Structure 1
Amino acid sequence: MPKIIVDVMPKPEILDPQGKAIGAALARLGIEGFREVRQGKRFELKVHGEITDEVLATVRHAAETLLSNPVIEDVVSVKQKECGGNCGCGHAKTADAPNGQKDLLA
């Protein structure tokens, strides 16, 4: 089944206490080298049938009105997830088979 991924992040001017807490925890664990951490949200929406321009428009509308709070968050991406051919979504991908031939994967 095809998926659409929606990523939502706090607006840059909004404080992110969760991101600050994660950044401090990384430093306490000795994981260094990060200037700033911001935490966002990721939504995965499985779609019945094909992902069309109309479906993407519907998801964008849902992302802007329900999945995010437009006062404090930005929808940073709405994209189709590439499944690599093993997802069972019904599409076909080609890949190199161990014998060097091209096999059709479902």
Structure 2
Amino acid sequence: MLETLTLLLDEMEYADYQVIEQVTAMSRWGEPRQNTAVWPGYNSAIIVQEVDPVKAKGLIGEINKMNAAAFNNSELVAAYMWGIEEYTVVKPVE
């Protein structure tokens, strides 16, 4: 699923995102992933930065489509969007 999401981000021309490949997690819709003998495995997390709210809502819409087509709970993607009041503008050093 991680590869599917990163391909989606690339297709939608997102340039600013970070991938955290090994995240322990609990959720209401799937088995816990705690990297233990009882609850093996990990989830992944992607943090996306986008200032255009229309583009961000488009990404949420695509993830909703993916979830609607999921065969089971392990294929569901949780996505959240929130506004940031202030941030630094990063400019490349020349």
TM-score by length of 2: 0.38
Q: Which has the higher contact order (CA 8 A, sep 6+)?
A: 1
Q: Based on CA coordinates, which of the two structures has the bigger radius of gyration?
A: 1
Instruction: Name the structure where strand makes up a greater proportion of residues.
Output: 1
Instruction: Name the structure where helix makes up a greater proportion of residues.
Output: 2
